[in-house]
């Protein structure tokens, strides 16, 4: 895939992408025009496919319909004659089953389990679509499986559950565990996601909720490099996190772990600082990270703040609030598709570095920078879980992928496939150091 950039009027830029899709009719041109200096970011994305103009939505529907989805299962061997059939199925396969029956640990040696990850969702918090159910979640989970394969050569499979009962999800994951080397929990709403992941840490394979920890790893890596550029000290920074769902909670805990409790972290939701709110999950995060136990509204929290991290909703952060922050603040505005504040507005109000979740702005925070490498490292180490230390090692490795960070580049390009290998090596080393790998099968 090649990219041609053509800058025109200051209000917008045009990207023309020339792409070829193997096995399909070619996608000759994709034209994208973004108008930035508007109250909303108006985006017109058009395809020219077989002479017809199509949006990304229309093109996605067409491809999924023609291919019946985007993943398939391919064998590693060929059945060309009766000997092949007898070797790879009956009667020869019985010898493999006997080996595993003698010692269950032989399953890792004689089957593909060691490279299989289940992508499990209940469809309760899918992308920006909300609670759309297991059937509608399936194409998103299949997309996650594609990313696992493309970036980490992991064979992943979507499993969408027709229940939103935490105990049933936990029990189902435990029942499925013998078929997989790891479980990626995906798009499960908070606060249920916390209980589900916590209760699955003893099933002897890595289990990670990517919406929590994948996001947190990328954010922490971005903050490490952003503070290098701005000259700020993360451990001495005042950090305001808006949105205390799966991602926001994990970010708060990971930054707190990284700074060893030294950073001043204030978590805020719709009702204000979480220490205002008397429920179990908010009390937990208040006790864990808000060391001064202060209360108030967002504008109170932002006074003199060095860093804003938004995982909330469009337009939450106004220019007037940015101007009340410390000099040269760092803004991570990750609401999608419209961030808490547009980058140009944040910079006009004094922000030095701005990151978003979007690919059309600098400093994209994208989970694909983290989860493939984390799981690749865990699987290679034969780890029985993904520890806090392994996640911190992943964040350090990701930050180090950018040798000379700048205001416009604090994270690698999400399409850089070398990143996953770098993270995998760091995660593997940490897992071995912690001695949390499976015992060798003797």
Catalytic positions, written as ranges: 89, 144
Q: How many CB atoms lie within 10 A of CB 394?
A: 31
Beta-carbon contacts of 291 under 8 Å, excluding residues fewer than 6 positions away, are: 261, 264, 265
Distances (CA, A) of 22 to 26, 63, 65, 83, 315: 8, 12, 16, 33, 40
Q: How many CA atoms, within 13 angstroms, populate the side-chain half-sphere of residue 37?
A: 6
Q: List the beta bridge partners of residue 208.
A: 184
What does the alpha-carbon distance between residue 209 and residue 215 come to, in Å, rounded to a whole number? 10
- Where helices occur in 337-417 by DSSP H, the ranges are 343-348, 371-380, 388-400
What does the alpha-carbon distance between residue 219 and residue 337 come to, in Å, rounded to a whole number? 18
- Where helices occur in 316-360 by DSSP H, the ranges are 319-322, 343-348
Beta-carbon contacts of 177 under 8 Å, excluding residues fewer than 6 positions away, are: 183, 203, 204, 205
Peptide bond into 240 cis (omega under 30): no
């Amino acid at each position: 895939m090649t990219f041609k950039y053509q800058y025109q009027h200051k209000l917008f830029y045009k990207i023309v992408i020339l792409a070829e899709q193997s096995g399909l009719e070619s996608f000759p041109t994709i034209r994208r025009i973004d108008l930035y200096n508007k109250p909303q970011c108006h985006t017109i994305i058009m395809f020219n496919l077989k002479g017809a103009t199509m949006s990304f939505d229309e093109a996605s529907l067409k491809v999924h319909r023609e291919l019946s989805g985007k993943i398939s299962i391919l064998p590693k061997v060929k059945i060309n004659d009766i000997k092949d059939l007898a070797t790879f199925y009956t009667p020869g396969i019985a010898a493999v089953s006997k080996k595993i029956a003698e010692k269950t640990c032989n399953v890792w040696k004689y089957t593909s389990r060691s490279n299989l990850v289940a992508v499990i969702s209940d469809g309760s918090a899918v992308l920006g679509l909300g609670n759309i159910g297991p059937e509608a979640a399936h194409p998103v989970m299949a997309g996650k499986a594609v990313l696992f394969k493309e970036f980490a050569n992991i064979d992943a499979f979507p499993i969408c559950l027709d229940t939103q009962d935490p105990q049933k999800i936990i029990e189902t994951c435990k029942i499925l565990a013998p078929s997989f080397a790891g479980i990626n929990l995906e798009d499960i709403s908070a606060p249920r996601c916390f209980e589900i992941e916590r209760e699955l840490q003893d099933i002897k394979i890595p289990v990670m909720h990517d919406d929590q920890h994948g996001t947190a790893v990328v954010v922490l890596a971005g903050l490490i490099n952003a503070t290098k550029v701005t000259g700020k000290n993360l451990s001495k920074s005042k950090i305001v996190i808006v949105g205390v769902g799966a991602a926001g909670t994990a970010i708060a805990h990971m930054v707190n772990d990284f700074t060893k409790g030294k950073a001043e972290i204030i978590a805020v939701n719709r009702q204000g600082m979480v220490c205002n709110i008397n429920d179990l999950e908010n009390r937990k995060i208040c006790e864990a990270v808000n060391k001064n136990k202060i209360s108030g509204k967002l504008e109170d929290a932002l006074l003199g703040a060095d860093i804003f991290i938004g995982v909330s909703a469009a337009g939450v952060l106004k220019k007037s609030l940015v101007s009340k922050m410390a000099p040269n603040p760092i803004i991570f505005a990750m609401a999608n598709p419209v961030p808490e504040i547009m980058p140009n507005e944040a910079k006009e109000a004094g922000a030095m570095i701005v990151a978003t979740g979007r690919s059309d702005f600098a400093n994209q925070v994208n989970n694909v920078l983290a989860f493939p490498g984390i799981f690749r490292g865990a699987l290679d180490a034969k780890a029985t879980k993904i520890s806090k230390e392994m996640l911190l090692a992943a964040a350090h490795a990701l930050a180090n992928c950018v040798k000379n960070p700048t205001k416009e580049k604090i994270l690698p390009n999400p399409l850089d496939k070398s990143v996953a290998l770098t993270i995998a090596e760091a995660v593997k080393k940490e897992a071995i150091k912690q001695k949390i790998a499976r015992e060798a099968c003797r």
